[in-house]
Amino acid sequence: MSDDDTPAMRLVHLLRAVTVELHLRGAEFAARSGLHPTDLRALIRLLDADRAGEVVTPGRLGEALRLNSAGTTALLDRLERLGLVRRSRDERDRRRILLVVEPKAVELGWSFFGPLIGGLVDAAQEFTPGELDVVRRYLTAALDAADPVGKGG
């Protein structure tokens, strides 16, 4: 966007290149697995929640993915048909559906993220703990810059 070739701008372009690359990887993986891009985003969200022990309902999932209720239902139909997730009535509030992640989804997630994470962890081996902390500080600052409102907003 700018012809500036400052260190800061180089990082901006690098960061963008990384996001583009990860996006492409995701799209390729989704296509190979018979998933739509949205399905992969949903899978990621569900696995994150599962890992954090959060309970996810269709409403919350749709909100996270910016889908309306009709789209969310269709999405869950697809994921359920693929055996990646299961709908389970909440017995405490019987209006709600709790989404249960099936083992198959965890396996699928690992088959995608495993190699990627492995590569990134290997890459980190080349750096000292102090250097990794510098990177952490930068990425944290970049996250704030990209998300002015903040997660709490």
Return residues touching DNA (CB under 7 A). 36-38, 57-60, 66-76, 78, 87, 93-97
Q: Considering only CA atoms, which of 34, 35, 31, 65 is closest in space to residue 48? A: 65
**Residue with smaller CB distance to DNA, 43 or 76:** 76
**Residue with smaller CB distance to its own copies, 91 or 122:** 122
Least Å from the CB of residue 132 to DNA: 36
Least Å from the CB of residue 113 to its own copies: 5
Least Å from the CB of residue 36 to DNA: 5
Residues that bind its own copies (CB under 8 A): 1-3, 6-12, 14-19, 21-25, 27, 47, 51, 66, 109-110, 113-114, 116-117, 119-127, 129, 131-148
C-alpha dihedral sign at 45, 50, 56, 58: positive
Contacts (Cβ under 8 Å, ≥6 apart) of 85: 46, 76, 79, 99, 100, 101, 102, 105
Least Å from the CB of residue 23 to its own copies: 7
**Residue with smaller CB distance to DNA, 72 or 101:** 72
CA distances 29 to 50, 88, 96, 152, Å, are 21, 28, 31, 31
**Residue with smaller CB distance to DNA, 98 or 106:** 98
What are the b/e assignments for 103-128, b being 16+ CB within 10 Å?
eebbebbeebeeeeeeeeeeeeeeee
